[in-house]
Amino acid sequence: MKRKTTVIVLVAVLATAASAFVATRAITGAVSDGRTVCASAETDAGEIQSKGTEVAMLMGDMEESSGEEAVTRDDRDPMVMYKTTPKPRPASTSTRPRAPRWPSYTVTAVLLSDGDPRAFLTLRGESISVKVGDEITGGCVTAIEPDGVTIEGEAGTKKYPF
């Protein structure tokens, strides 16, 4: 058992050392490849001059781009809060008039007798007694039936269910 443990520990130490070596080589290799201009002893003839021309071209491009280009949201100063301009609301294109709203009556009782049916309606907590022909808010009562009250007004006809 002791021998197996020793072998496992030895393999783990070797694997750790190998991964550290590979990681170091990868990092140092990436850094040395990322240089834009090498030392003059390490370069080919004319490499430093070509890099200088490339920089000069980039500087010329920066000078040519003046304030003529439009500034977008991505070009703004990140330290200043961005404020959007409100978009104008489109004008109403609807030509038809808005339909009148019916009052929100609730039928609380219907009393049917042979010649004089009556109903009790509630509107905003106030109860009123109506019969056929009565003028109320929203129109005129035209029918009182076991299943509700019908009112006819400017907006048309509406039946309030019981």
pLDDT in tens, 10-35: 999 989 988 888 888 777 765 444 44
Task: Tokens 């905003």: give the residue.
Answer: 124
Residue 122: the pLDDT is 93
Which helix (H) or strand (E) segment holds residue 47: the answer is helix 47-64
Residues 46-52 have a mean pLDDT of 58
Residues 6+ apart with CB under 8 A from 152: 139, 140, 142
Residue 45: the pLDDT is 60
Residues 6+ apart with CB under 8 A from 59: none
Residue 94: the pLDDT is 64
157 vs 34: which has the higher pLDDT: 157
Burial 18-48 (b: 16+ CB within 10 A, else e): eeeeeeeeeeeeeeeeeeeeeeeeeeeeeee
Report the candidate in 138, 139, 99, 141 with the shortest Cα–Cα distance to residue 120: 141
Range 48-54, long-range pairs (CB < 8 A, 24+ positions): none
Residues 137-156 have a mean pLDDT of 91
Residue length of the chain = 162
pLDDT exceeding 70 applies to what percent of the chain? 67
Residues 46-72 have a mean pLDDT of 64
Read off the tokens for 83.
């404020």
Residue 38: the pLDDT is 53
pLDDT digits (tens, 9 = 90+) for 62-108: 666 655 555 566 666 777 777 777 788 777 666 666 666 788 899 99
146 vs 89: which has the higher pLDDT: 146
Sign of the CA dihedral 134, 103, 128, 110? Answer: positive
The amino acid sitting at 10 is: L
